[in-house]
Amino acid sequence: MRCLFFLLLMFCTVPAWADSHDQLYKVAGWPEQRAHFNDALKAAQLRYKNSLPPAVFDALVSNSNQRFSPQAMDQRAEQQLRQTLQDPNPALQFFQSPLGRKIVNAELTATRPDQLAKNAQGLPKMEATTTRQLIIGHLTQALPAREAGAEVSLAIAGVAADSLSQMIPGLMGMGGGQTQDMLDGQRQRLIAQIGNDMNNTLLYVYRDLSDPELDEFATFAESPEGKAYYQAALAAVRAGLAVGQNGK
């Protein structure tokens, strides 16, 4: 299920500027995906309620609400997107097209709370022709799905550890370098784990796209313009989630 969170790349609220960046955020579904992320965060908070002391649970909720408040995430993520994505127009044109709208709709559907709950035990095994598998393989390599999924997983899981550390200072008993090494190691393990099922995940999410549509999508994702967009999106996710930082 972690891999589905790749589709939460677009979690920011709509910024104040009325320009191509602003239009891109709207067309690519960022506001809706941000709402889906908040729903997932609330569900994660509730899962800890019966397993943590009340004081720790209250700290968890307070910390996560602060770190993942729309304003805080917007401030970090939007600044990073602005810095990283120099020209938003190619991506804007793509996502304004009928195919782009179809892709966004597929992504929004996959990350709805009811769909995440439906597939909580795993996605169905998708059957596909050799041609379709080949196209999906290109998308798997072009989209930063594994990396973004790992960041979301680390962010949600890290809130409990941060809260416990706040309640019991020095609990971790290690220096910042050791903590960062552990975080990097966990990140790499998550990326590998998510990657094991990525082809099937993308086959499921984009199951309503035809082979020619998938091929056009892969062509965009592999183009210089597509690479610039997805690199900027991943950078924004990392900045917005502030994994390994205090998130303030």
CB 127 within 8 A of CB 54: no
Q: Indicate the length of the chain as a whole number.
A: 248
Position 167 scores a pLDDT of 53
CB 148 within 8 A of CB 9: yes
- Checking if the pLDDT of 47 tops 50, the result is yes
Confidence band, pLDDT 50/70/90 cuts, at residue 171: very low
Both tokens of 132, joined, read: 């379709």
Confidence band, pLDDT 50/70/90 cuts, at residue 25: confident
In this prediction, residues 234-248 reach a mean pLDDT of 75
- Checking if the pLDDT of 11 tops 80, the result is no
Q: With CA atoms as reference, report the closest residue to 236 among 162, 152, 161.
A: 152
- φ/ψ of 11, rounded to 5, equals -100, 0
In which residue are the tokens 């706040």 written?
166
CB 201 within 8 A of CB 145: yes
CA–CA gap between residue 197 and residue 1 (Å, rounded): 10
Rg (CA), the chain: 18
Out of 16-20, 124-128, 163-167, 228-232, which region has the weakest mean confidence (pLDDT)? Answer: 163-167
CB 229 within 8 A of CB 143: no
CA–CA gap between residue 233 and residue 227 (Å, rounded): 10
Both tokens of 69, joined, read: 């408040």
Position 90 scores a pLDDT of 97
Confidence band, pLDDT 50/70/90 cuts, at residue 172: very low
CA distances from 57 to 37, 65, 197 (A): 20, 12, 33
